[in-house]
Amino acid sequence: MLRFLTAVIRRDLKLAARRRGDWLTSQFFFVMVVSMFPLGIGPDPAMLAKVGAGVVWVAALLASLLSLSRLFADDHRDGSLEQMLLSPNPPVLLALGKALAHWLIYGIPLLLIAPILGVQFALPADAIAVLMLSLLIGSPVLSLLGSVGAALTLGLRGGGVLLTLLILPLYVPALIFGAGAVDAAVAGLGAEANLSLLAAFMVMTLLVSPWVAAAALRVSIE
């Protein structure tokens, strides 16, 4: 069981390593979306510090949705997804492995880029640390919930936009607790409450979404 899970993750990591262009596109999308905001709302550091966490988090949601639309699509197109579902290994582990691989490939870089963007938005150092921590706890939610959407919209026309419509409302708690943690840290309230709730939400999605994603894959493939 565990070997199958690690095999799925390692396969996706290898595929991503061979297609660096796709990977970079998603990271630059994240950086560019965030950088547009000061141009739109003005360079006042006090205001930027106020909106910074929210902007980074919303951009992280959009960037992860952008890469999620391809989560199962490539494997579906060349038939390997069907083979993996036909194998005796439980589809839940396949869905979990794909989501975890997505988190490693696309979620971790987000939180490594975030400090630079935090500096751009004049966030104080401790707020940047909280921002990274909130992304560390929150980005698995994006991959896990997004895997459900990716499985539901597999092979549909306009899949990417559709995925966004389906999944963005479900991301709301992660956005609120994630950005809220940073705001609380900036306000000197302490981020623990927000981070604990975010972690609770993450654990819940970890428990539920692989099952739903596996069921959705079976619905989409048959």
Partner 1 sequence: MNLAIFKYAAPMTFYRLAGRMIPWFAWGAGILTAIGLYIAFFVAPTDFQQGEAYRVIFIHVPAAWMSMFIYLVMAFWSAVGLAWNTRLSFMMARALAPTGMVFAFLSLWTGALWGKPMWGAWWVWDARLTSSLILLFLYVGIMSLWSAIDDPRRGDRAGALLTLVGAINVPIIYFSVQWWNTLHQGATISMTKAPSMAATMLIGMLVMAFAAWFYAIATSLVRVRGIILERERHTEWAAEILEGK
Binding footprint of partner 1 on the chain (CB under 8 A)? 145, 148, 152-153, 156-159, 162, 165-170, 172-173, 176-177, 180, 183-184, 197, 201, 204, 208-209, 212, 215-216, 219-220, 222
Nearest approach, Cβ of residue 183 and partner 1 (Å): 7
Give the closest residue to 139 by CA, choosing from 183, 188, 201: 201
Contacts 24+ apart (CB under 8 A), 16-19: 16/101, 16/105
Question: What are the residues whose beta carbons fall under 8 Å from the beta carbon of 138, sequence distance 6 or more?
Answer: 57, 174, 177, 178, 198, 202
Nearest to partner 1 of 62, 166 (CB atom): 166
Nearest to partner 1 of 112, 208 (CB atom): 208
Give the closest residue to 131 by CA, choosing from 174, 182, 172, 175: 182
Nearest to partner 1 of 48, 191 (CB atom): 191
Nearest approach, Cβ of residue 27 and partner 1 (Å): 27
Nearest to partner 1 of 9, 68 (CB atom): 68
Q: What is the DSSP string of 121-168?
A: TT--HHHHHHHHHHHHHHHHHHHHHHHHHHHHTTT-TTHHHHHHHHHG
Q: What is d(CA 39, CA 194) in angstroms, rounded to the nearest whole number?
A: 29
Nearest approach, Cβ of residue 180 and partner 1 (Å): 6
Nearest to partner 1 of 105, 182 (CB atom): 182
Nearest approach, Cβ of residue 189 and partner 1 (Å): 8
Nearest approach, Cβ of residue 83 and partner 1 (Å): 20
Give the closest residue to 85 by CA, choosing from 33, 159, 154: 154
